[in-house]
Structure 1
Amino acid sequence: MKIRFLASRLLSDGNSFSMEFKRNSFHDTMTGLDCGGHTDRTADIFSRACVESFDSCNWAQFGYKFTQVFAPSVLYELALLEGVQLAPLARLKDRRTAALASLGAMLDRGFELTVVELVNVASALISISRFELVRNVLTILSERQTTPREDFEIGWLEFVVSNRCDGGASSPAAFERMRRAVNTRAVPVSRMLDACTQAVVWYIKRRELPTASFERWLELGTSLTETSGRIEPGALSSWYRGIAMVPAASGDVVATRRSMERAREAADVSTGSETRAADLNMLKTYYESAIKEYLYVQRDIEAAEEAGRSLIALDPVWSVSYGELAEVYLRSKRVERAAQFYEQAAAAGPPYLAHHLLKAAMCRDRCGDHSRAMAHFEKLAVFVPQSRRVMSAGLDLARRLAHPSAAVFERGLREMESHAAD
């Protein structure tokens, strides 16, 4: 299925820009919690796992499976692709599938639901980046009497929302809530390790919680993996990928690789046709992390390229897979090759379609393929006309080429300045 966009701005000669993108399984999943008729061959691993989690959920028990949590900005891109306003999409006003109708019905009677049911509803909403609605659920939960086990899961939700929506400002309080619950011994081992992993990852990435808190979670996670044999493979693989960031931060290549090998061992699953998407996702995230390890810690371009190709082989319809390998080529100064893979990423559709197309445009410009770079910028001017970065870079190239589309980019920048002044 093709989605076609026509420019609202015309070139001076009266011609308009236009662009086409196919609707993929990620698009259908994020807008409908349904792969939209895509089969296992044409649906990406995230989408399959996301739908599996919803379809298999026991709403009366904890354990909703997260695959990957996207920032709310991904919905803006999907709204642009659909040509609709963001707010109705973000608030589930359009319940286009049976899954959305079911989720929406539970949301509508939220005050009647149990704490466990509300936590699961919020988890399902997070899986499709509906954070405004998750906050509504958290407001209902704040008025309930809760057990330590319930407190842990609510703290987890509070952390995820803060992490994706306000830069982690509320993460310290969320982790403290989870820590108090953990101290009561009411939380399963794998869930404790999930919290330990996130504490390590987000402390290393952006100091999202205090050092003393990070050290407690690091100590707990290390103890759990040394003494408990009851940890789920997904939690264990995530832990080792997270803990690899500690030696990576100090440049310890041996310890980093050792942790990554343990992550790979925990994620080692059969990739046959019957393999669950959630299991395949463990392997997928290992390859994604391995690419970054090889690029920035090991500085082994060949190994990074091999990991990127393994990622594409595992998840060939996932746009991000091509973007990851494109980054390897860009870092190794194979700019034209990088452009080709960014173009494949954009052609695969969302998520990050505009980002991938912009990177392709910049790569084409760098390697002297100005006509193709200009074509990409023209498409971006249609797709993301409010992006100052796109309009500025497109204008720079158009002026260098004395291209008539310079007028379009100039007009776009003027309109942005006018709106900012208002």
Structure 2
Amino acid sequence: MANAKEIRPAFQAYNCFARVLLDLEANAKNSSLFARGCAQIFENHDFDDWAYPYIQVFEPNLFREVAYLNDRDVDRAERFEDTLTPAGRRLRELIAYPAELSDVWLSNTIGALISVAHFTTANELMIHLKARSLTGQGQFERAWLAFLITNRCNQGADAQVAFDEMRGAAETGNVPTGRVLDLCTQGVVWHLKSEQINEAQFRWCLTTGARLSKQLEHRAPETIASWYRGLAMLPAARNDPKRTRAYMAKAEYNAHAAIRADDNRGLSALNQLKTFHESSIKEFIYVDPDYRRALKSAQELVALDPYWPLSLAEKGEVHERFGEHEAAAECFERAAALGPPYVGLHLRKAATSRLRIGDRDRALQHANTLGSIAPDSETLGEIEKVLRMHDAELRN
């Protein structure tokens, strides 16, 4: 393997994802929906209102990834100490004196930190929020933040406790209906994914969610779209393609309705359509295998969010699943070239796809690129293992 120092990483380290995680800033053009959405929400959200909105919530290791790739000190970057952007400076000022923030402002500040995966600082501020006496929606939102933190930081070890507190607050009648439906969606999703939510609460989510979704029909399309996309996981788990498609069709309808009803929340509404395409890809790969429909969903996803590495990686997954390894390699390579998140994963997948078509040189190139940025990476070891296996097969 070539000397790591001789290899220049062929990707954008300070891409739109890194820019928003490190500096809470996004370009108006050439940025993903996630990056633009995070920056826009922080700029426009009224911190006197509960429920900080999210585009997507990532694990803390992805923040550490972008800090490392951009030579930022992780501890200083966590608190935005080196940022020069107005948004970054504003958030730095908010986290400096948490005791002086009102309950709702403190909650929103923690929400903003979670939105860009700054979980260490979010946890520090949660100590202050947990010490306060909150009721109604304040209690609900505090438990919501606790749920997100435990879900992303310690595999949901305390998810049930946070969920129970949210349900208790919701049953007081002092939490907006849309937020309760959000809770039901999370309960369904995380019960089916990892059983973080127990069976009894899962059943409550199904019953309550069905009732609330009817109440909110035609009034909150984004919330309804999320509900049906989550609900589709149930028949998908039972290998029921007909019912899965029925729920997914309702998710798509409401995603488009949210876009039509856009009241300056365009990126959030577009994100509902994006996540619909992502879920559709999984549907047509695993539940109702159909190459043509899976590829169509992937193409629509890339067209909607072309600067998001995961869009290209999703398309690569379709090609890989249906045996088109060269096309898969090209997608994973383009995803890696766009930069974080998951640069290492995309390089590994590109290398593996290259080996499957006998292109050892390109596979080695990807291994060298990975070695230049993470010489001790487990992913690098996986690539080297595959390379050795490939060489052994050729000798035999």
Q: Residue 100 of structure 2: which of 112, 116, 130 is its match?
A: 112
The equivalent of 1:387 in structure 2 is: 377
Q: How much does 1:63 deviate?
A: 3.4
Distance 1:356 1:148, change over 3 A: same
Verify the 8 A CA contact 1:287 1:310 in the aligned structure 2.
yes
Q: Does structure 1 residue 69 correspond to structure 2 residue 57? A: yes
Give the Cα separation in 1 of the matches to 2:176 and 2:218: 9
Q: Residue 328 of structure 2: which of 338, 346, 359 is its match?
A: 338
Give the Cα separation in 1 of the matches to 2:204 and 2:185: 12
Verify the 8 A CA contact 1:190 1:230 in the aligned structure 2.
no
Distance 1:347 1:201, change over 3 A: same
The equivalent of 1:182 in structure 2 is: 170
* SS of equivalent to 1:196: helix
Distance 1:206 1:31, change over 3 A: same
Q: Does structure 1 residue 171 correspond to structure 2 residue 164? A: no
Q: How much does 1:232 deviate?
A: 2.0
Distance 1:254 1:87, change over 3 A: same
Q: Residue 327 of structure 1: which of 304, 317, 328 is its match?
A: 317
Q: Residue 150 of structure 2: which of 156, 162, 181 is its match?
A: 162
The equivalent of 1:153 in structure 2 is: 141
* Amino acid of the structure 2 residue aligned with 1:39: A
Q: Does structure 1 residue 30 correspond to structure 2 residue 21? A: yes
Verify the 8 A CA contact 2:192 2:233 in the aligned structure 1.
yes
Give the Cα separation in 2 of the matches to 1:388 and 1:149: 43
Q: Residue 341 of structure 2: which of 325, 345, 351 is its match?
A: 351
Q: Percent identity?
A: 35
Give the Cα separation in 2 of the matches to 1:21 and 1:331: 25
- 1:311-355 deviation per Cα after TM superposition (whole angstroms, max 9, x unaligned): 011111111100001000100011111001101111111111111
Verify the 8 A CA contact 2:42 2:112 in the aligned structure 1.
yes
Q: Residue 272 of structure 2: which of 282, 304, 307 is its match?
A: 282
* SS of equivalent to 1:20: coil
Q: Does structure 1 residue 366 correspond to structure 2 residue 359? A: no
Q: How much does 1:393 deviate?
A: 2.7
Distance 1:392 1:57, change over 3 A: closer
Structure 1 length-normalised TM:
0.88
* SS of equivalent to 1:21: coil
Q: How much does 1:270 deviate?
A: 5.1
Q: How much does 1:107 deviate?
A: 0.9
Within-5 A mapping of 1:203-352: 203-229=191-217, 231-268=219-256, 269=259, 276-352=266-342
Structure 2 length-normalised TM:
0.93
For the aligned residue pairs, the C-alpha RMSD in angstroms reads 2.1
Listed as ranges, the gaps of 5+ residues in structure 1 are 1-6, 403-422
Q: Residue 143 of structure 1: which of 126, 131, 134 is its match?
A: 131
Verify the 8 A CA contact 1:378 1:394 in the aligned structure 2.
no
- 1:179-201 deviation per Cα after TM superposition (whole angstroms, max 9, x unaligned): 11111000111100111001000
Give the Cα separation in 2 of the matches to 1:396 and 1:292: 26
- 1:186-226 deviation per Cα after TM superposition (whole angstroms, max 9, x unaligned): 01111001110010001000001111111112211011112
Q: How much does 1:105 deviate?
A: 0.6
* Amino acid of the structure 2 residue aligned with 1:317: Y
Please, which moves more after superposition, 71-80 or 233-242? 71-80
* Amino acid of the structure 1 residue aligned with 2:153: C
Give the Cα separation in 1 of the matches to 2:41 and 2:208: 28
Q: How much does 1:92 deviate?
A: 2.8
Q: Does structure 1 residue 88 correspond to structure 2 residue 76? A: yes
Distance 1:232 1:275, change over 3 A: closer
* Amino acid of the structure 1 residue aligned with 2:196: E
Structure number with the higher helix fraction is 2
Listed as ranges, the gaps of 5+ residues in structure 2 are none
The equivalent of 1:39 in structure 2 is: 28
Aligned residue-pair number: 388
Give the Cα separation in 2 of the matches to 1:17 and 1:99: 35
- 1:46-81 deviation per Cα after TM superposition (whole angstroms, max 9, x unaligned): 111111100001111113211000111111221221
Verify the 8 A CA contact 2:38 2:54 in the aligned structure 1.
yes
